[in-house]
Structure 1
Amino acid sequence: MILFLKILFFPILFPLSLIYRILFFLDRSLKKKNKLHSAITISVGNFSVGGTGKTPFILHLSQLLHSHFPDLPIVILTRGYGSSGTDTRKVNIDSSPTEVGDEPLLLKKNLPFAEVYVGRNRFGSYLKYRSDKGLSENKIVFALLDDGFQHHALERDLDLVLLDCTRLSKIEFLLPLGLLRESYRSVSRADFLIASKFKEEQESKLSAWLQKYKPNKYLKFRFSTEELIPIYPGHSETLTRNITGKSIYAFSGLGNPEPFYSSLKEKNPHKFNSYSYPDHHSYTKEDLSEISQKGAKDDYIICTEKDGVKISALGTISGQDPSKWFYLRLKTILENESELLRSIRTNLYNHSIKISSLIDD
């Protein structure tokens, strides 16, 4: 249906895509960039709208930074898509997903050592973070720009952009005709391409893409699915292999839900049904009631972790069996991550030298 509408309205959407490209270029060329002082600024973004694995990558990157540089604070600056407010907000573990957004809350729950700030003005969010923490002027921190590849208002030390390997065979156009925010050729602006959701069967398509667009450097980012985590307290975790031969009802609010469903189907359940909500869907108790009814005869009701964060905040409802509600936890692997660490160490060294020279002066 969506493809039919795009073909029908192609004469209108294609010129709008050209206008979008021009406006995007002007914004990138003319906007004055601020610099986050005393920060190693790392942007993590993507080419397209919809799920590319950006949030799991930020989780992986944050844990990588913390393990190798435990003395350096980490702050994640995000706009908080889907949140209700517009001012700068610090995300706490008990924050409401409606107030701060589902992804920022998921990040905070998984990264107790990092701070997460939500706000349209990320420069202002960074200043508030430093003020809240009482950091000295020369204290270096890692500042991660969530969804930052098209954010032209800030300078960055490293630009990382994710490519969804599950969509390599699709012909993509710029918004509003397609899902691309900018052309794949903009990969030349990135320090690293992150080939996200990579699997061995995608090797030939990825190689063709790399040969065509020639990124500076690239790293493969893999997912594995091993655990199901109970959404509601008082119930036990289980391994995904235990859903083999069982009946599953899966649902999600993702931009690209098919990889999530495929990862469950790979476990060979006896029966599998699914339902997809819009990306960043705000769940209601009516939704929970409908899901409970649809999955009433199934052994497991499974969603993504991002969905689970919002659902757990609603509590249980009458007639719901909380013991069979789970979210799928992803295990992530970044191949050759030592290359990324080498670039980070170079930036850290350069910042340290610069700060030392300022102190000496």
Structure 2
Amino acid sequence: MWLEIGRQHLSLWRNIEIVMVNAMIPWGNHLLLPLGTLREPFSALKRADVVIVHHADMASKLEIQAIESMVHKYNESVPIFFSILAPSHFIRVGNISYTCPLKDISHAILLCVSAIGSADSFVQRIHKMGPMHVDRLDFSDHHSFQPKDIDIIRKRLHKLESDFSAVPMMVVTEKDYFRRPEVLEHLGYEVLVLCSSLQILPLKGCNEESFKKCLRQHLEIYNLA
């Protein structure tokens, strides 16, 4: 379960409580950090004003229903919305002013490198774009790439080039690129950054407009209090 970072700090003032649940691994092993992935116990859902089920397009209807049931078990009236991280284009490391369409990786040999909490969603979205082959290299969440990591990445790319007799490309997320952009500029291979935007899905009677309306209503309530 992903909770907005501020929710863990009760002394931090805020005017709306938003919980984001990863539909691919909604509750992890049901244990709190450091033994599990939950930042707060399930009872914290009682404080939520809004719940967003993220990567909803990568979960089945039954999985979505199970998430809804768990949320409403602790907070019967909370509105639930559904979101995806929709890919839009690539930018090229070394020339970020140049954008590439998503179709540019069709039939390509790729190495997906990431240091995010949900690497599976990133890799699955790349698969859907039709590359010939996708390899992956996952680092721990929030990891900042070091020179030794670049050596590991370069060796993996060399192996792909040898295995497929074609020059591979590396793909990273915006989050990973902007953490240390200079590190990836001298890899010796083309590196593409996948650019995406968060979108509210039109699902179960909810859409982006109803989401914005819900937020406005909560903000108005807090402003009047």
| Residue 302 (str. 1) matches residue 160 (str. 2) | no
| Residue 339 (str. 1) matches residue 225 (str. 2) | no
Q: Which runs of 4+ in 1 moved over 6 A?
A: none
Deviation at 1:46, TM superposition (A): 2.5
**What secondary structure is seen at the aligned counterpart in 2 of 1:158?**
coil
Distance 2:124 2:218 in 1: 39
Q: Which of 121, 128, 144 lines up with 1:266 in the alignment?
A: 128
1:46–1:149 CA contact under 8 A, matched in 2: no
Kindly provide the amino acid, as one letter, of the partner of residue 169 in structure 2: Y
Partner of 1:32: none
| Residue 243 (str. 1) matches residue 105 (str. 2) | yes
**What secondary structure is seen at the aligned counterpart in 1 of 2:142?**
coil
Q: Which of 316, 326, 337 lines up with 2:192 in the alignment?
A: 326
User: What is the RMSD of the two structures over their aligned residues, measured on CA atoms?
Assistant: 2.7
2:15–2:222 CA contact under 8 A, matched in 1: no
Deviation at 1:154, TM superposition (A): 2.3
User: When the two structures are superposed, what TM-score results if normalisation uses the length of structure 2?
Assistant: 0.79
**CA distance 1:203–1:236, change in 2 (3 Å):** same
Superposition map of 1:170-209 within 5 A: 170-199=28-57, 201-209=59-67
**What secondary structure is seen at the aligned counterpart in 2 of 1:208?**
helix
Unmatched segments (≥5 aa) in structure 1: 1-44, 48-145, 355-361
1:198–1:223 CA contact under 8 A, matched in 2: no
Deviation track 1:75-105 (CA, whole Å, cap 9, x = no partner) reads xxxxxxxxxxxxxxxxxxxxxxxxxxxxxxx
User: When the two structures are superposed, what TM-score results if normalisation uses the length of structure 1?
Assistant: 0.52
* Higher radius of gyration, 1 or 2: 1
Distance 1:171 1:224 in 2: 27
Deviation at 1:244, TM superposition (A): 2.0
**What secondary structure is seen at the aligned counterpart in 1 of 2:193?**
strand
Deviation track 1:108-163 (CA, whole Å, cap 9, x = no partner) reads xxxxxxxxxxxxxxxxxxxxxxxxxxxxxxxxxxxxxx611211112322100100
Distance 1:280 1:313 in 2: 17
2:184–2:191 CA contact under 8 A, matched in 1: no
2:150–2:184 CA contact under 8 A, matched in 1: no
Partner of 2:164: none
Q: Which of 133, 136, 155 lines up with 1:293 in the alignment?
A: 155
Q: Percentage identity across aligned positions? A: 19
**CA distance 1:312–1:347, change in 2 (3 Å):** same
Distance 1:337 1:213 in 2: 20
Distance 2:106 2:184 in 1: 28
